[in-house]
A and B are shown apart, each in its own frame.
Chain A
């Protein structure tokens, strides 16, 4: 295992320091994109490979109107985790999110919360490959679980904080899906995946809606140290319920344009700078999401 170059160490430190909330409704399950991209990668697993990664992400979201108690949330998150490839067919990843959230409401109140999010474990099973080595086409199944690890947070009055700022709804989420990776012509490759998130009932009478995510992108790698990626991430959410009633401003469809730059300053090191810009918003009710921006580091050990 090689130690990181000093510059990368500084970058990691800066990332960590920068994520401390400056001053911190968002559904706890929100987010977009294929979480296995960082943790497991798109390529064929190699038996015995251990990968570590971290991702700092910023995003915003707003729901509701002044008259119905609407709010906006600003979220900084640090997700870190690792994956292990047991063979060329099976790999398992675990991701641990830490969320720093600030919720602003129309009554000018502000709530800050820092908390552990819901830990997620996803396995990848390579179902088919066109050849044993240096596969050009790879079809995989994805399956896993998101655990209700985000603790319930309380305010100074001893009452639970607004559900919009809780780091998780207290649900168990079954995750299943499939992905395809294909090397097209030259250094151009394609990746597509669909993932379904199916929740159990959570706490505080919350019943999240099932969620489906789709990802499609093309990647061009003109040099070994640089790749450019562009594509789309989309999410289709079911309506949430609270104590048997439909939660307003939940559910719907949103799609993002997702460009990214991947830099590899050294063998087995990848830095990813990515954004997700909302381009289609058909979320139900008064609900919008802003651009996601992220900086990630992936290291194969």
Chain B
């Protein structure tokens, strides 16, 4: 009896101290970066190619509102298994979830190319992931990297000078848009090939970057035309990619 009481007392003392240990699961770290397809530029102004010649950018901010990843499509075999043994899975969306970063981040083109802005780390269910939806939408007051309160409420804010379509002296422009676009993009490697992210073993940690290809933004957008701001948001969405880093 006394021995048992002593054992219980020892256990309760251990519990009073409390102890814990953790074994990491899978994770996917995301960063936000801007890069030119060829060469690199530092600081501002930057020169990019437009439909009427060179465009000089003096200020540029882009808001990435969310990134959500999606598992690779189920194989026929797995679909059959799921039919035989359905597991309740709710594909509910929230501002943030194990598969979605819901905190908006503002990329500032004044930063050096390839300078990575940490966007957050996902701890998704173990699976293979093939693509992501990158949301471009207006920044809020709490957006990470917000350059000034003026940017709040805008998806893009780009200033610079461009040559008019008929030629002549360069004209200044300011493009501000509140457009909201969800762009589904596949994960790619550094070489541009498809690169699913396999997160199926405890401790598996990978990283990926949302890359804004700023030198391609104005390829088909004349900044001096009406509607250029919203067209620019669409062009940014069309040219971004999600690049998976080598393990």
B124: chain A residues within 8 A (beta carbon): 66, 106-107
Point out the residues of chain B lying under 8 angstroms from A4, CB to CB: 1, 4
Beta-carbon contacts under 8 Å, B10-40 to A? 11-12, 14-16, 18-27
Q: Are A67 and B125 in contact (CB under 8 A)?
A: yes
Interface residues of B in 93-122 (CB under 8 A from A): 94, 97-99
Report how far A115 CA is from B21 CA in the complex, Å. Answer: 12
Q: Which of A12, A16, A98, A112 contacts B15 (CB 8 A)?
A: A98
Is B227 close to A, CB under 8 A?
Answer: no
The answer, yes or no, to whether B7 is at the interface (CB within 8 Å) is yes
The A86-134 residues at the B interface (CB cut-off 8 A) are 96, 98-99, 105-116
The answer to whether B125 and A155 have CB atoms under 8 Å apart is no
Contacts A16-B11, A66-B89, A67-B97 given; indicate if A111 touches B4 (C-beta within 8 A).
no
Residues on B with C-beta less than 8 A from A3 are 1
Which range holds the interface residue count of chain A? Answer: 35 or more
Identify the closest chain A residue to B23 (Cβ): A110
Smallest beta-carbon distance A58→chain B, Å: 16
Which of B8, B23, B89, B92 lies in contact with A80, CB distance below 8 A?
Answer: B8
- The answer to whether A228 has its CB under 8 Å from any CB of chain B is no
In the complex, A67 Cα to B125 Cα: how many Å? 7
Chain B residues positioned under 8 Å from A78 (CB to CB): 8, 11
Contact between A151 and B22, CB atoms less than 8 A apart: no
Q: Are A65 and B90 within 8 A (Cβ)?
A: yes
With most chain B CB atoms within 10 A of its CB, the pick from A3, A68, A167 is: A68
B88, CB-defined interface residue at 8 Å: yes
> B residues within 8 A CB of A65?
88-90, 92
Q: CB within 8 Å of B: which residues of A?
A: 1, 3-4, 9, 12-13, 16, 19, 54, 65-69, 78, 80, 96, 98-99, 105-116, 151, 153-156, 161, 165, 167, 286, 299
Extra pairs beyond A109-B24, A113-B18 (6, CB < 8 Å): A12-B7, A16-B7, A68-B90, A68-B98, A108-B25, A167-B18
